[in-house]
Amino acid sequence: MRYTLAELARLTATELVGEGTIEVSELASLARATETSLSFLSHDSRRHELKATQAAAVVVSKALRDDIACGLISDDPYRTYAELSVLFDEKGIPFAQGVHPTAVIDPTAVIAGHVSIGPGVVIGADVVVGAGSVIGPNVTVYPNTRIGLDCLIGAATVIGYDGFGFAPSSSGWVKIRQLGGVLIGNDVEIGAGCTIDRGALDDTVIDDGVKLDNQVHIAHGCHLGARTAMAGYVALAGGTIIGQDVTVGGMTGFTGHLSVCDKVHIGANALVTQSITIPGAYLGGAGGVMKAEDWRKNAVRFRQLDAMARRLQMLEKQLNTQSKDS
């Protein structure tokens, strides 16, 4: 697949620098690029990498206009790279549009047009799958699940299985029947190997534009606000409410029945044990999360604990000596 730079500038609404008739046939990193490659630089601080690249052209910000002889000028090079990746993706979905012959679909399920359902998929009773959605191989969708328009469900994901609910009794555990469902909005992408439980009473809800990495767990009754994104190994306990435009780093856990307001970023490997009500960036570990600037200060102090302890011991000795002398 080949494009001229003039074509790409028009398709991505970017500004052309250099000769528009130059053709490129692939996207590549700056380090791997050749004379037929188009590359990009999303961080101006790495501008020194432009000198060594063999790329025919590079997508850069306005601040780096004078650093390139040929390329595209973008307000957001990373977003432009995302748009270009669609144009250069020759693989597309790994199976044809329609229902694979090995898929098992309950007769009460409603499957809209222009849907791709891969091999080994199982779709239960009263499930609805919206137009343009793609369901990958070996996905299981349990009854009472609604999947919106233009969604992408990765391989081996399970949607709508029982939430983890048991009541203790003198004779053992009594299973709590999960009576809710799962509601998934439009333009939602769920990675491979994810598990999304149905609600115990209220539905588990994933709003429009949510993006989940591989191996994310969403427990019963959670609600993910629009355009929220979560990296791999994130796990939400039951009843967690996440606002809109929230980003969560990998291996972060939520203890459940708490809420996170809109426009929050939580760094990787954190444990969220209480609600977050103020937008901003948060970091933390097993002790819980805190504002990122506070965490960084405390991290510096932690590395100085030994020296601080020694100073404290010296001060104590001095005070003891002074008290004896007096």
pLDDT for 214-262, tens place per residue? 999 999 999 999 999 999 999 999 999 999 999 999 999 999 899 999 9
- Of 43, 220, 223, 257, which residue is the catalytic one? 220
* Domain annotation covers residue 150: no
Assess whether pLDDT exceeds 70 at residue 93: no
Mean pLDDT of the chain: 94
* Domain annotation covers residue 302: no
Count of domains observed in the chain: 1
Query: How far is residue 32's CA from residue 53's CA, in Å, rounded to a whole number?
Result: 8
**Residue 25: per-residue pLDDT:** 96
pLDDT-derived band at 97 (thresholds 50, 70, 90) equals: confident
Contact 198, 180 (CB under 8 A): yes
* Domain annotation covers residue 29: yes
Query: How far is residue 224's CA from residue 226's CA, in Å, rounded to a whole number?
Result: 7
Crossing angle, helix 5-12 and helix 77-88, to 10 degrees? Answer: 110
* Domain annotation covers residue 155: no
Contact 29, 23 (CB under 8 A): no
* Domain annotation covers residue 117: no
pLDDT for 266-310, tens place per residue? 999 999 999 999 999 999 877 778 888 888 888 888 778 888 889
**Residue 208: per-residue pLDDT:** 99
pLDDT for 115-139, tens place per residue? 999 999 999 999 999 999 999 999 9
Q: Are strands 172-175 and 166-169 parallel, antiparallel or unpaired?
A: antiparallel
The secondary structure of residue 272, as a DSSP letter, is E
What is the domain-level CATH number for residue 37? 3.40.1390.10
* Domain annotation covers residue 177: no
* Domain annotation covers residue 280: no
Examine the residue annotation and report whether 43 is marked as an active-site residue of this protein. no
Contact 85, 65 (CB under 8 A): no
**Residue 91: per-residue pLDDT:** 72
Tell me how many helices (H) and strands (E) the chain has: 4, 37
Which residue carries 């590359």 as its tokens? 39
**Structure token pair of residue 201:** 């009473």
Q: Could you tell me where the DSSP H helices lie in 131-280?
A: none
The secondary structure of residue 268, as a DSSP letter, is T
- Residue by residue, DSSP assigns 48-115 as GGGGT---SEEEE-GGGGGG-SSEEE-S-HHHHHHHHHHHH--S-SSS-SEE-TT-EE-TT-EE-SS-
The secondary structure of residue 159, as a DSSP letter, is E
List the domain range (segments joined by +) for residue 26: 3-88
The residues that bridge with 57 in the sheet, in sequence order, are: 38
**Residue 296: per-residue pLDDT:** 85
Q: What percent of the chain has pLDDT over 70?
A: 98
**Residue 326: per-residue pLDDT:** 66
* Domain annotation covers residue 107: no
With a CB cutoff of 8 Å and minimum separation 6, the contacts of 279 are 261, 262, 263, 264
